[in-house]
Amino acid sequence: MIAPVPFPIAAAAHGAGGAGPSGRSGPTDPAGAGGASGPGVAPDAPHVPVMLERCLETLDVQPGRWYVDATFGAGGHTRALLARGAKVVAVDRDPDAATRAAAIADDALVFVPGDFRDVEALVASAGVPAPHGVLMDLGVSSMQLDEADRGFAFRHDGPLDMRMSGAGRSAADVVADASEAELAAILYRYGEERHSRRLAAAIVRARGDEPIRTTARLADVVAAAYPGGPRRDHPARRTFQALRIYVNDELAALQEGLEGAARLLAPDGRLVVLTYHSLEDRIVKRFFRDAARLTPLTKKPETASEAEIDRNPRARAAKLRVARKEPA
């Protein structure tokens, strides 16, 4: 189903409150947060958009042209586009995103609630010309990670939810209902977890003793079952990634979103995608290679500079790919 009718943000902003925006970031460091200032970032923003300047450069932003921020998050990229004179259609399925967008009082911004898998129809519903650029910054946003009650982060205790839209089955539902074989398949497919069978068995045993309803309990169960030895990250990281991707159907949504974005782009328009793990990056790489009217402009994915990673550790996993739509 397509989301409700879009609304211009300037009109909606009157009387709307909101905290300073934070940028979208990768899912690999749920506890950390880098702070910075600059275009597109409010002075009190606790997070910064990943590879912001490079995204703007590769989008070839021109004043007065329309661009689509298909993953609005907290609006860091959108604010930067507006600051350069662009017009923006912003899309996000997070129920809180509309409130954050309403805090941006700008006639050049139209926010459309919905899933970016429907980006073509959502942008059409906004009644704007074909955009000259589409930006897709994938993964979970910094704010979602830092809000314990959203259930995305293993370092913050809260309900085991992980639903970006707040609808459908939660991660707790999957953990409670899936068979051991199904859980192992989810962890292996979406988390690339090599110990998937071992962890699935541990989860099934643990839920038999007591339901697993919180992030802390799931993280403890996984950590206790994980093989010993040195590790770079928390043993539950891949499990949480797998459940989040599965609950939100992220990989299918990405494929559909890429197809829709390519169709709606104006000739010579740019499609810019930021991914944060290999599953996403492979889909984008293959799509850019195989799509009939797209020419990849990045032979290999670009990554954040060491200076940016020092400021914002969540940028470490980011990979940026860019393609241009050729005229018919």
pLDDT tens column, 10-32: 333 322 222 222 334 343 333 32
Q: What is the pLDDT of residue 314?
A: 83
- Write down the pLDDT at residue 152: 52
The band of 158, judged by pLDDT with boundaries at 50, 70 and 90, is: confident
The matching CATH number, chosen from 3.40.50.150, 3.40.50.300, 3.40.50.720, 3.10.129.10, for 7-143+250-325 is 3.40.50.150
C-alpha pair distances (Å), 181 with each of 12, 41, 209 = 48, 44, 19
Q: Is residue 29 classed as helix, strand or coil in its secondary structure? A: coil
Reduce the DSSP state of residue 318 to 3 states and report it: coil
- pLDDT (tens digit per residue) in 91-124: 998 888 889 999 998 999 999 999 999 999 999 9
Coil, strand or helix at 273: strand
Q: For the structural domain made of 168-246, what CATH number should be given?
A: 1.10.150.170
The CATH 3.40.50.150 domain(s) of the chain lie at 7-143+250-325
pLDDT (tens digit per residue) in 190-214? 999 999 999 999 999 999 999 999 9
CATH 1.10.150.170 placement within the chain: 168-246
Strand order in the sheet with 319-325: 7-8, 109-113, 87-92, 66-69, 133-137, 270-275, 319-325, 294-296
Handedness of CA 287, 292, 293, 297 (dihedral sign): positive
Q: What CA–CA distance (Å, rounded) separates 285 from 297?
A: 11
Task: Report, as an integer, the average pLDDT of 268-280.
Answer: 96
Q: Quick one: pLDDT at residue 234?
A: 86
Query: Amino acid identity, residue 264?
Result: L
Judge whether residue 250 has pLDDT over 60. yes
Ranking 43-47, 124-128, 236-240, 270-274 by mean pLDDT, the lowest is: 43-47
Residue 153 confidence (pLDDT): 57
